[in-house]
């Protein structure tokens, strides 16, 4: 054992990969198993040891644990609502070794509606007090917009009630379906509702039907951007700074936007040149190289459409519309690590089936 190992403790070496994490876990799993099975000091003996190690793998991985059966502990890893962290959890679980007495699960699984009852902030949610109805929008036929009706709704506590409904849906539908199948959701009380209400236990079948229709409608839909036309747009921001955008004007007229429902935006702040807010020659070249690298990774025929970019005071944004959210978020996290210390790169990814995000770039 090296001198450094003696000081830090050999088992406390930094976690730099999924394999590192599982090698650490294997050394602890028998101890952890006993703690959970015997309902020992779970917080100090398990949670406080596990949480920082998961943070080293990827920030934003949360967990639940309990006995799956008499001889098996289940460890559920969850992003707690953050789409951007799903790929990291799935990769980590896929790398898990087989361990006797352990069931490692990515994301909260779906449950039978009879087994789902949630208590949150003094509110109770179950199949008896929840109903729903879909909101149909003529111009947006593929959008899944739901109103959830909760019998115990209190307007002053709407935030808490809405969070409780989300937790209920995570457990009923399964976390992946809850996060990805519903485009918009609003929670209301039963007063002044004129629409026909549907029992909440029918929601799973409704979503499966809508998703099946969606997949069949757009299956195999791809767009080759090779011959598309691009427009250069200039404007002025509210602060008086210049805005320069290069946008794929052809793709914004496409009638199959919903086939690529995930909007992915990479934001790169930079120091402007000569107080203009625009990048100097060296920075401009580096920004373009970053964009070129991302475009090479996210190809149009694989389902990732580069909509364009916008440069304004001390900031560049790169826009994509994507069929899936996993690869873009992984690419973005790799960019953040690669350019840490050069740029403070950040990103967003969210559902926007009709690309409302880019309406401002469409010709008027």
Is residue 119 a part of any domain in this protein? Answer: yes
Domain boundary among 218, 251, 278: 218
Chosen domain end from 72, 106, 140? 106
Please give the average per-residue pLDDT across 23-29, as a whole number. 97
In the predicted model, is pLDDT for residue 11 greater than 70?
no
- 357, 239: one domain: yes
What pLDDT is stored for residue 272 in this prediction? 78
157 in any annotated domain: yes
- For the chain, how many structural domains are there in total? 3
Write the CATH number for 331: 3.30.70
Q: What is the pLDDT of residues 185-243, one digit of tens each?
A: 999 999 978 899 999 999 999 999 999 999 999 999 999 999 999 999 999 888 888 99
- Tokens for 361, please give them: 């770039």
Average pLDDT of the chain is 94
> What local confidence, expressed as pLDDT, does residue 174 receive?
97
Interval 304-315: pLDDT, tens? 999 999 999 999
Could you give the 3-state DSSP secondary structure of residue 176?
Answer: helix
Residues 156, 96: one domain? no
Say if residue 249 is in the same domain as residue 343. Answer: yes
Q: Which two tokens stand for residue 156?
A: 């002053």
**pLDDT exceeds 80 at position 12:** no
Task: Report yes or no on 223 lying in a domain.
Answer: no
Same domain as 69, residue 44: yes
Regarding whether 201 and 306 lie in a shared domain, the answer is no
Point out the domain boundary residue: 183, 218, 253: 218
Among residues 80, 183, 203, which one has the least CA distance to residue 130?
203
Range of the structural domain that residue 128 is part of? 113-218
- Decide if 10 contacts 20 (C-beta within 8 A): no
List CB contacts of 272: < 8 A, sequence separation 6 or more: 278, 279, 313, 314
Q: What percent of the chain has pLDDT over 70?
A: 96
Q: Smallest Cα–Cα separation from 320: which of 260, 361, 270, 269?
A: 260
The pLDDT of 20-25, averaged and rounded, is 98
Answer for the pair 6, 79: CB distance below 8 angstroms, yes or no: no
Kind and range of the H or E run holding 68: strand 62-69
Q: What would the pLDDT profile of 341-357 be if each residue is shown by its tens digit?
A: 999 999 999 999 999 99
pLDDT at 212: 97
Tell me, yes or no, whether 341 and 285 share the same domain. Answer: yes
Question: Do 354 and 240 share a structural domain?
Answer: yes
The tens digit of pLDDT for each residue in 43-88 reads: 999 999 999 999 999 999 999 999 999 999 999 999 999 999 999 9
CA distance linking residue 326 with residue 303, whole number of Å: 12
pLDDT digits (tens, 9 = 90+) for 237-293: 888 889 999 999 999 999 999 999 999 999 999 987 767 789 999 999 999 999 999
**Assigned domain for 224 exists:** no
Span 34-49, pLDDT tens digits:
999 998 899 999 999 9
Given the structure tokens 């767009």, which residue do they identify? 223
Q: Are residues 241 and 345 in the same domain?
A: yes
Q: Are 171 and 114 in contact (CB under 8 A)?
A: no
Same domain for 136 and 201, yes or no, is yes
Neighbours of 79 (CB within 10 A): 23
Residue 297 has pLDDT above 90, yes or no: yes
Q: For residue 225, is it within any domain? A: no
């Amino acid at each position: 054992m090296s001198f450094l190992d003696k000081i830090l403790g050999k088992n406390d070496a930094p976690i730099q990969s999924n394999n590192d994490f599982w090698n650490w876990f294997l050394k602890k799993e028998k101890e952890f198993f006993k703690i959970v099975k015997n309902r020992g000091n779970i917080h100090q003996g398990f949670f406080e040891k596990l949480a920082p190690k998961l943070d080293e793998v990827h920030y934003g991985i949360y967990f639940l644990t309990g006995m799956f059966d008499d001889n098996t502990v289940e460890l559920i890893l969850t992003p707690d609502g953050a789409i951007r962290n799903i790929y990291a959890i799935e990769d980590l679980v896929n790398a898990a070794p087989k361990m006797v007495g352990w069931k490692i699960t990515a994301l909260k699984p779906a449950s039978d509606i009879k087994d789902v009852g949630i208590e949150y902030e003094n509110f109770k949610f179950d199949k008896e007090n929840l109903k729903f109805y879909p909101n149909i929008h003529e111009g947006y036929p593929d959008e899944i917009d739901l109103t959830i009706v909760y019998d115990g709704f209190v307007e002053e506590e709407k935030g808490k009630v809405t969070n409780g409904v989300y937790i209920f849906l995570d457990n009923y539908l399964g976390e992946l379906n809850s996060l990805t199948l519903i485009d918009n959701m609003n929670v209301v009380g039963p007063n002044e509702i004129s629409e026909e209400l549907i029992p909440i236990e029918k929601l799973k079948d409704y979503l499966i039907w809508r998703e099946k229709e969606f997949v069949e409608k757009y299956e195999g839909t791809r767009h080759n951007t090779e011959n598309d036309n691009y427009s250069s747009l200039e404007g002025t921001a509210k602060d008086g700074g210049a805005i320069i955008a290069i946008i794929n004007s052809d793709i914004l007229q496409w009638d199959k936007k919903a086939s690529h429902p995930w909007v992915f935006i990479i934001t790169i702040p930079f120091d402007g040149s000569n107080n203009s807010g625009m990048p100097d020659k060296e920075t401009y070249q580096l920004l373009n190289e970053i964009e070129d690298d991302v475009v090479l990774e996210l190809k149009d025929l694989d389902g990732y459409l580069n909509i364009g970019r916008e440069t304004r005071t001390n900031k560049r944004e790169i826009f994509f519309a994507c069929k899936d959210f996993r690869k873009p978020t992984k690419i973005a996290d790799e960019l953040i690590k690669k350019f840490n210390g050069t740029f403070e790169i950040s990103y967003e990814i969210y559902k926007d089936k009709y690309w409302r995000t880019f309406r401002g770039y469409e010709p008027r």
